[in-house]
Amino acid sequence: MPLVMTPVGEYENAFFHFNGQKFQPQYLGRDYGYYGVLARQQPKDRIDRIATFSVISDRLQIAGADWSFRRDEVDTPDKIQAEFGLAMSHDPIGEWDNDTEALGAMLIAANAIPKMDLERITKGLKRGKRQDLKLGLKGRWDTYHYVCRLIHQLRTSQSFSSTLLISDEDRKLIETLSSFMKSERWPLPFEWPDPDNYINPSKSPYGLLLFSPPDYDALLAARRNKDVARYAMEVRKHIKIGNERAEVQMIKSMKDAIDKKDIIEHCEGVFEAESWGWRVMHFLPVLDKIAIFGELVAELCGRWAKRKKKECEWYAIGPKMQTIAIEDYLKRKDNIA
């Protein structure tokens, strides 16, 4: 089953901030308004995590926004999904859906968001005045926009059966809002999505998979690489969704892969020695045909062993991606004196 992921909250901010370096640089660096909230600057480690999962996942399903991944007329949605692993849809829920806006405004007006989260989700933005929101309610627009995006991301994940890429802070905020609405007995206009289908990229086993691309083109070079694609396919098999023991299970899978690789390396050595032995037998005319057959078998088994060894090395996807990203970046900087 494909691993489709929807970045949530600050991970969505990190995605747009990094993606914008290639596709929408004119919207970066703002500390106010729509794009100030959407592409709010994030720490480098969070950008590295979203970059890593951009490569590992089959695709990122982005909640609809006023943003484009197109470079020219040739970039159709199918091509963007195939080449960049990105998809954005405004159906069945538009970004400024009436129900989403109304619920967001009610949560802001009811002071349902903890002060610590208010400070976190508006960090780096100018403090704006209270404005008229939906239903005649008032509140800070940047906070309102962030909460509306959270609801939109949850509903997008629900519509496309995607996994949430989310921090502990945003997941706890969503749980807080859910508990508040239940305690107030609000009749919701739609079914509140279940946030249990998630991955927190900051957990330690995922940190072992990370790479740090110098720019977005370097990320795309890593995603296009065939070896990385094979590693990513293996990684996806071992990712556990919304499981409290995910850390332990991922580490165990990595250790098992290393054990398998050690066994294969031992077998590989045996096959090489066997092949050498058969080559020596070529000097004996009577046994020549047997020797040729034996050598072919040994070499074939050796190739199989190498292939299996590569499959076991999926845990080393981070260094592999890093090497490709750096090489791609340096090749594009060949005009530097």
Q: What is the pLDDT along the chain (337 residues), one digit of tens a residue?
A: 789 999 999 999 999 999 999 999 999 999 999 999 999 999 999 999 999 999 999 999 999 999 999 877 678 888 899 889 999 988 878 888 999 999 999 999 999 999 999 999 999 998 877 888 888 888 999 999 999 999 999 999 999 999 999 999 999 999 999 999 999 999 888 888 877 888 988 887 788 889 999 999 999 999 999 989 988 888 888 887 765 566 667 777 767 767 666 555 544 544 444 444 444 444 444 444 444 444 444 454 555 445 555 565 777 788 889 999 999 999 988 655 5
Is 248 found in the same domain as 198?
Answer: no
92 and 171 co-located in one domain: yes
- Asked if 288 and 185 sit in the same domain, the reply is no
Boundary of a domain, candidates 173, 202, 231: 202
| Helix, strand, coil percentages, rounded to 5, for the chain | 60, 5, 30
Distance between CA atoms of 53 and 62, rounded to whole angstroms? 13
In a domain, 211, yes or no: no
Are residues 158 and 248 part of one domain?
no
Q: How many domains does the chain have?
A: 2
User: In terms of domains, do 260 and 195 share one?
Assistant: no
Is 42 in the same domain as 164? yes
Both 190 and 129 in one domain: the answer is yes
Q: Which residues pair with 59 in a beta bridge?
A: 4
pLDDT of res. 19: 96
Give domain status of residue 300, yes or no. yes
73, part of any domain: yes
Q: Is the same domain home to 87 and 10? A: yes
Are 197 and 251 in the same domain? no
Query: Does 173 share its domain with 263?
Result: no
Rounded-to-integer distance, Cα 231 and Cα 208, Å: 14
- Give 229's contacts (C-beta < 8 A, 6+ positions apart): 223
Answer whether residue 235 is part of any domain.
no
Contacts of 300 (CB under 8 A, 6+ apart): none
Which of 146, 178, 202 is the endpoint of a domain?
A: 202
Question: By three-state DSSP, how is residue 281 classified?
Answer: helix
Residue 284 falls within a domain, yes or no?
A: yes
Q: Are residues 266 and 118 in the same domain?
A: no
pLDDT at residue 253, rounded to an integer: 72
Q: Tell me the residue range of the domain where 280 lies.
A: 243-331
d(CA 69, CA 85): 11
CB-based contacts of 260: which residues, under 8 Å, 6+ apart?
A: 308, 312
Query: Which three-class secondary structure state does DSSP give residue 236?
Result: helix
Domain assignment present for residue 53? The answer is yes
Helix and strand element counts for the chain (H, E)? 14, 7
**Spatial distance between the Cα atoms of 147 and 67, rounded to a whole number of angstroms:** 19
Give yes or no: residues 171 and 269 share one domain: no
Is 220 contained in some domain? no
Q: Quote the tokens at residue 20.
A: 């914008």
In a domain, 287, yes or no: yes
Q: Is 41 exposed, middle or buried (0-12, 13-18, 19+ CB in 10 A)?
A: middle
